[in-house]
């Protein structure tokens, strides 16, 4: 009897030990990270950096935006997220154009810009009223439109990209610089540029040096200007330096004191940027901002030079979708027809 009891106790003991082992294994297994499922969600494609590109789509020239997007998307393997910025009443049309054309494959977000933020900050008496289009000032508000990215590209709508946008994105910003621009004295092939009439490339062309507020800045009027139609920006640094607030301050000051040159060819958005970023910007490879193609319909660049260019900018009055203009063949090859049939090319001669 005593032996039987002993055997029972041993069996019970063994049973408990077995249960403990099973339990231990179960608990332990639960804490082992599940590699398999993790592996599936982390494909290399998703780890690739996303390049945010901000571009405006104004009602009358949405065709420009779509051609620019098409050129960027077609010339890169990079993972791009387009932020297409418009005013409220155009947002549906922007979406339709993208979703009902060959652009339907792009990654994009449509962002509304509320022009109320500009109230009291722009003078209504500009010699070129078209430059007062509220979307011209979107570049002042980049951190308000973009939240998840530190480094951002901003492009004017009247550009065509011929290079891989990854290269532009890889532009190095010096420590403490909130942005990089293309310098107006850096332009390659100077004899091409010099043929273009009335070109401004110094601060004098943008700021009225007779005004005290401008003189007090202590910036030499012969300082080279830059063109903010192509920007690579660091949002962390932009916020840190409160760039948007500084730009707004100079806009307001201009409303009160009319500080900017009246011969403005470069646009109302340029002058405040020249002041705020003076001596504090990095530079973009000049081939990434070949500009003034819209300056003079009689001045043509050499074919070789245009082929070398990574980005072409038709700044000036003569847009490549209108007549007269130059090198519109280069622009037109990226044109995406308007599914609504509203935007039309105007190329009769």
Quick one: 12 or 174, whose CB is closer to ligand NAG?
174
Quick one: 49 or 112, whose CB is closer to ligand NAG?
49
Quick one: 99 or 150, whose CB is closer to ligand NAG?
150
Q: In sequence order, what DSSP letters do the residues of 32-90 get, joined into one string?
A: S--HHHHHHH--HHHHSPEEEEEEE--GGGHHHHHHHHHHHHHT--SEEEEEEEE-GGG
Quick one: 122 or 230, whose CB is closer to ligand NAG?
230
Quick one: 35 or 262, whose CB is closer to ligand NAG?
35
Selected range binding ligand NAG among 126-134, 218-226, 230-238, 270-278, rule: CB under 6 A: 230-238
| Of residues 329, 264, 262, the one with CA closest to residue 293 | 329
Total number of residues binding ligand NAG (CB under 6 A)?
7
Separation of alpha carbons 169 and 52, rounded Å: 9
Quick one: 42 or 298, whose CB is closer to ligand NAG?
42
Separation of alpha carbons 335 and 253, rounded Å: 40
Minimum distance, C-beta of residue 225 to ligand NAG, in the bound complex (Å): 24
Selected range binding ligand NAG among 199-207, 233-241, 276-284, 297-305, rule: CB under 6 A: 233-241
**Encoding tokens for residue 242?**
């409160």
Minimum distance, C-beta of residue 142 to ligand NAG, in the bound complex (Å): 13
196 contacts ligand NAG (rule: CB under 6 A): no
Candidate list 42, 150, 170, 257; residue touching ligand NAG; CB under 6 A = 150
| Of residues 90, 87, 84, 92, the one with CA closest to residue 65 | 84
151 contacts ligand NAG (rule: CB under 6 A): yes
Quick one: 150 or 298, whose CB is closer to ligand NAG?
150
**Encoding tokens for residue 180?**
């990089």
Positions in 15-44 near ligand NAG (CB under 6 A): 35
Three-class secondary structure of residue 312 per DSSP: strand
280 contacts ligand NAG (rule: CB under 6 A): no
Specify which residues 283 forms β-bridges with: 181
Positions in 298-327 near ligand NAG (CB under 6 A): none
Residue 217 in contact with residue 249, Cβ under 8 Å?
no
Minimum distance, C-beta of residue 333 to ligand NAG, in the bound complex (Å): 33
237 contacts ligand NAG (rule: CB under 6 A): yes
Separation of alpha carbons 13 and 292, rounded Å: 90
Query: Peptide bond preceding 19: is omega within 30 degrees of 0, i.e. cis?
Result: no
CA 102: distance to chain centroid? Answer: 21
Candidate list 8, 194, 236, 258; residue touching ligand NAG; CB under 6 A = 236
Other Cβ atoms less than 10 A from the Cβ of 170: the count is 12
Residues that bind ligand NAG (CB under 6 A): 35, 150-151, 173, 234, 236-237
């Amino acid at each position: 009897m005593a032996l039987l009891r002993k055997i029972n106790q041993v069996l019970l003991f063994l049973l408990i030990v077995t249960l403990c082992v099973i339990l231990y294994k179960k608990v332990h297994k639960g804490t082992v990270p599940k590699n398999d499922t993790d592996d599936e969600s982390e494909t290399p494609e998703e780890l690739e950096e996303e390049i945010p590109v901000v571009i405006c789509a104004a009602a009358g020239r949405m065709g420009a935006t779509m051609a620019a997007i098409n050129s960027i998307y077609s010339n890169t393997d990079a993972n791009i997220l387009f932020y297409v910025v418009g005013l409220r009443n155009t947002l549906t049309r922007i979406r339709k154009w993208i979703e009902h054309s060959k652009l339907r494959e792009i990654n994009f977000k449509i962002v509304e810009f509320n022009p109320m933020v500009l109230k009291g900050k722009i003078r209504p008496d500009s010699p070129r009223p078209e430059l007062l289009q509220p979307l011209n000032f979107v570049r002042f508000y980049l951190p308000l439109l973009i939240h998840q990215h530190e480094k951002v590209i901003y492009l004017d709508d009247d550009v065509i990209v011929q290079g891989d946008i990854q290269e532009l994105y890889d532009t190095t910003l010096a420590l403490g610089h909130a942005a990089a621009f293309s310098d107006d004295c850096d332009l390659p092939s100077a004899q091409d540029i010099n043929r273009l009439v009335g070109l401004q490339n110094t601060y004098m062309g943008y700021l009225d040096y007779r005004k005290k507020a401008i003189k007090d800045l202590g910036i030499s009027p012969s300082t080279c200007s830059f063109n903010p139609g192509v920007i690579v920006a660091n949002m962390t640094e932009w916020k840190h330096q409160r760039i948007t607030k500084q730009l707004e301050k100079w806009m307001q000051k201009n409303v009160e004191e009319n500080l900017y040159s009246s011969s403005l060819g470069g646009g109302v958005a340029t002058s405040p940027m020249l002041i705020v970023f003076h001596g504090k910007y990095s530079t973009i490879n000049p081939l990434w901002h070949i500009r003034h193609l819209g300056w003079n319909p009689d001045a043509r660049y050499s074919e070789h030079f245009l082929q070398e260019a990574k980005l072409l900018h038709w700044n000036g009055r003569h847009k490549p979708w209108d007549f007269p203009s130059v090198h519109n063949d280069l622009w037109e090859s990226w044109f995406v027809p308007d599914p609504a049939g509203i935007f039309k090319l105007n190329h009769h001669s």
